[in-house]
Structure 1
Amino acid sequence: MKRNDLHSIDLNLLVVFDTLIQERNLTRTAEKLSLGQPAISAALVRLRKLFNDPLFERIGRRMVPTPRALSAAQTLGPALDCVCSAIAHKRG
């Protein structure tokens, strides 16, 4: 994927993905992002299509990430940190 292809992706989905990786629970992810649980479920459906992978498997009350999700998280977590830093950076 090239940078120009990002225009067709809702980058907010990556925030949902990152939070779901951390929380491993749809309800807690929804609470942390101040969204409803149905919105998180819908975002997960879109993420699964985007990545062409289930990303998470429900085991009991936890969402266990697939190997593809874990791999993506290793790249996306630091990338989101960089975006936050770039936006928060103040001029001297």
Structure 2
Amino acid sequence: MANYEDWRLMGQEKYLKGVALAYRPWKRPKPDWDHDHCEFCGAKFMEEPYPDTLQEGYCTLDEYYWICPECFRDFREMFGWTVVEEDAK
């Protein structure tokens, strides 16, 4: 678990405190949008499995904010996140 002086904390509590998250594969929201970053550590999410990229992780239900599995584990308790279990589509 992270502490309040963790370098990855940069005010995310303003928009991520207590939100519901889902574990999903990252998909392009628009044709010209090829990646997103973890809101905490900056890890890169992409569809293509390039080196040092993630293809899935935790996101807000609107898929606007993404969180890598490591940061999710580190900050879940501090931020009070709940995970929405989704049926396989």
TM-score range, shorter chain: 0.3 to 0.5
TM-score using structure 1 length = 0.33
Q: Give the structure with the larger strand fraction.
A: 2
| Structure (1 or 2) with the larger CA radius of gyration | 1
Which of the two has greater helix per residue? 1
